[in-house]
Amino acid sequence: MTVFLRTLETAVPPTVLIQTEARDVFAAQAGLTRLGTRLVRTCFDASGIDTRYTAVGELTRSQRSEDPVFFDAGSNEIFSPSTKVRNDIFAVEATRLFVEAAQKALDACAGIGAADVTHVITVSCTGFFNPGPDYKVVRALGLNPSVQRFHLGFMGCYAAFPALRAAKSFCEADPDAVVLVVSAELCSLHVRTSNNPDTIMGSSLFADGAAAALVSARDLPQSSACISLDRFETTLTPVGEESMAWNIGDEGFEMVLGSYVPHIIDDHIVGALEPLLASDPSVRDLPYREIKHWAIHPGGRSILDKVEAKLGLSAEQLEPARETLRNYGNMSSATVMFVLKHILDQPIVGADERICSMAFGPGLTVETGLFSKVPAHTEAKVGSASVAGAGEQTQSEPADDERTAALPAGV
């Protein structure tokens, strides 16, 4: 049985942050030391980001508020509201993104309606409320109230992989299952001004966005390309437990991203890929560069630089990740879904378009996935085990289940 990611849709809030404008605001804050100001300018300029999106409209100079909570455009001052204030905004604004992305994914899937959805998995690490986003999605989309609901909270940037892996398992256990996976992150709720390099890096990098996918093994018409979810693996690097973390503070959530993170990835990325690729004869003997597509979570520009250099990948293979970073920033768990959508939307030009995907998070955790891009109108019905292009499997051969030391890690 082959399980497919049938549709993949994204959503962002309406407010755009221009990176150069945000840089100037953060660099002008009172209380910054000379080194802090220099780090702000360096981090923002070296981030590889042009634009980001935020659910906090007042973070831009163009939207003035009579009673500002985060930013006063008149005085150019960034405030530090409490975690409760930030989380209350999350409950409202994240719900909008969860519902928008989920509705778009459902509308885009031919042959699937609201009544067909059997499971909902929601993902976020940037806020909490209950009844949670899984409940809100079921109610807003008019799903069956008996839908099985799951929420993956506070896992960090890699959490889309456990969600997709769970969706695959549900479909393998029940071939009629239809799983809606939705990730929404409001990272910009937790920005603050500081001389701390980790905080400065977060301010230069993180953004808001959502992505939703419908996953199923059902026999369905497929008018556009989809992705077969062939294999997942997870591993922990032997070092780095204290180098990446996500903690709750009194004035929002606090990120730890040590300067050694890109080096940890450089040292251990090959070992992290080994269990994923070694068990698949179609790719285990290939040079990494021969795997066509690479959906890498763009945790920061230097992380992408390390992955590209260590695996000998081409600039073209890293372009989906770099373009996502450039246009949207780092949206935590939703980001790798944006990268996958970029790949999915490209025309299919070969018979075997494999996708190797990975994301990194606290621990240091490395999540990996091996997928296949499947064209529309394949020789066999999409949903059967003999789909052409899904790892060349047949019914008799089923699928196996830098920067300088002064700069923060993400730059």
Q: How far is Cα 42 from Cα 110, in angstroms, rounded to an integer?
A: 47
For residues 18 and 329, the answer to whether their CB atoms sit within 8 Å is: no
C-alpha dihedral, 355 to 356 to 359 to 363, nearest 10°: 150
Q: Is 148 exposed, middle or buried (0-12, 13-18, 19+ CB in 10 A)?
A: middle
Q: What Å distances lie between residue 157 and 138, 162, 190, 237, 363, CA to CA?
A: 24, 11, 15, 16, 11
- Location of structure tokens 């059967």: 384
157 is catalytic: yes
Q: What is the DSSP letter of 57?
A: G
Per annotation, catalytic residue among 43, 109, 125, 157: 157
User: 56: which residues sit within 8 A by CB, 6+ positions away?
Assistant: 15, 70, 71, 89, 188, 189
Compute, in degrees rounded to 10, the torsion defined by CA atoms 296, 297, 302, 304: 10
- Residue 69 buriedness (CB in 10 A; 0-12 / 13-18 / 19+): middle
The span from the CA of 54 to the CA of 210, in Å, is 11
Cis peptide before 325 (omega within 30 of 0): no
Q: Which residues are catalytic?
A: 157
